[in-house]
Structure formats: structure tokens, C-alpha cells
A and B are shown apart, each in its own frame.
Chain A
Amino acid sequence: DTEVTQTPKHLVMGMTNKKSLKCEQHMGHRAMYWYKQKAKKPPELMFVYSYEKLSINESVPSRFSPECPNSSLLNLHLHALQPEDSALYLCASSQESWEQPQHFGDGTRLSIL
């Protein structure tokens, strides 16, 4: 069982919908990450939060909006997504910013109609 929990596991939404992905960890980690993974490709970094503050945004379109309400939770708010945004969205955490190893959740498989 993964120590990083992501919900929902699957999400299908239209291009005009607003939805949120959720991630939770209780390992006391202070860095949390969002990655996007397309089929048969490695994960690509989207955002990094360190001590609940956004420290890195890898030029992600504004239709993706991250939020870190507290040290255990990380959300990704979605609005007006495009079909090419369909992918597996992975959350990860590590003890300190960029300190390895990173612990990954099982991801949310997102499909945009």
C-alpha cells in the first residue's frame, strides 16, 4: 500500500467542467509534488510545494491550479482542460524539498472528453 493517497483514481470530465484532484500524505514530509505522465512516457514535473509554499511551477498552463491547504494535503484544481491534458497525474512527497527519495501515490487517471 502506498503512503501517498490520491483521489479519485479515475476522472472523466468535459472541457467546461471544474474538478479537483486530491493528494494526502501523513509521513511528515514537507515537500510535495505534482507530475503529469502520458502513456509510455516518464513523469514530467508540474509543481513543487515546499513548506506549504509553491516553490516551482514548470510553466504549467493556468488551467491547472495547485493548492496546499496544509502540510499533509495537496490539491490540483482543474478548469477548462483540453483533450491533450488527458494523462495520469501523480502526486509525490519527500522529506525536504528535493531531498530524495520521493514517495509516489498511484495517481489519478484523467480523461478529458
Chain B
Amino acid sequence: TQLLEQSPQFLSIQEGENLTVYCNSSSVFSSLQWYRQEPGEGPVLLVTVVTGGEVKKLKRLTFQFGDARKDSSLHITAAQPGDTGLYLCAGVKKGTYKYIFGTGTRLKVLA
């Protein structure tokens, strides 16, 4: 059973479009991280969200943690080809030790 489900799995859009990626769970997480991974590289941390309802902005990227800390979203405004990559949410389920990754969203932004 995958604790962190991401949607969509794949997304191909034109440069300048907006998009939202979702990370959902039935479990509560102490915090969630979002990473971006490009081919041939390791995941790079984008943000950590800790407080329920928290919203964080990183240039054109907006991250939100659900009020109940069971879900998170990543919104990209005016996507650029440089945003292409695999987006992963990850975290530790409250009460456990195990750090798990979401199922991943593969984004391709076409010029």
C-alpha cells in the first residue's frame, strides 16, 4: 500500500501554462518535503511544510500543506522548460520512523 499518492502521474504542458500537482494520504504526516529530480541526478529539496494550512512560495512555485496534514499541493505558475523533471513529495508518517516518497509526478514543459 502506497502511503503517499501523487497525481497526476504524468503531465505534458506548453510553456506559460499553470499546473497543480497533488500529494495525498489517509495518514497524518509530521511534515512533508517536495523534491525535484532531473535525469541523472539525485532529488533536490524544494521546500518543507510543517504546519497544517501552511503556504510557502518559491518564485513561481506555491506549496500548500493541508489543514489536517494529510495532503499537500504544488502549484506552478507560467511553467518553463526548466521546470521539467520528476516531482516527489516525501515525509515521515506521524508515529513511525520511516521516510517515504510519494509515487512521483513526471512533468514535461514544452517550449
Interface residues of B in 22-60 (CB under 8 A from A): 31, 33, 35, 40-45, 48
Interface size class of A (residues with CB under 8 A): 20 to 34
Which residue of A2, A41, A98, A109 is within 8 Å of B104 (Cβ)? A41
Cβ contact within 8 Å between A101 and B45: yes
Cβ contact within 8 Å between A42 and B88: yes
CB distance from A54 to the nearest CB of B (A): 14
Q: Which chain A residues border B42 with CB–CB below 8 Å?
A: 2, 4, 90, 92, 104-107
Interface residues of A in 72-113 (CB under 8 A from B): 90, 92, 98, 100-107, 109
CB distance from A25 to the nearest CB of B (A): 12
Q: For the complex, would chain B's binding face be called helix, strand, loop or mixed by DSSP majority? A: strand
Identify 12 residue pairs between A and B in the complex whose beta-carbon atoms are under 8 Å apart, listed by A's number: A2-B42, A42-B90, A42-B102, A43-B43, A45-B98, A56-B98, A100-B92, A101-B48, A102-B99, A104-B43, A106-B40, A107-B42
Chain B interface residues toward A at CB < 8 A:
31, 33, 35, 40-45, 48, 88, 90-92, 97-104, 106
User: Number of contacts between A and B (CB, 8 Å)?
Assistant: 52
Q: For the complex, would chain A's binding face be called helix, strand, loop or mixed by DSSP majority? A: loop
12 new A-B contacts at CB < 8 Å, known A102-B99, A103-B45, A106-B40? A33-B99, A40-B106, A42-B88, A42-B90, A43-B43, A43-B88, A45-B98, A90-B43, A92-B42, A100-B48, A102-B45, A104-B44
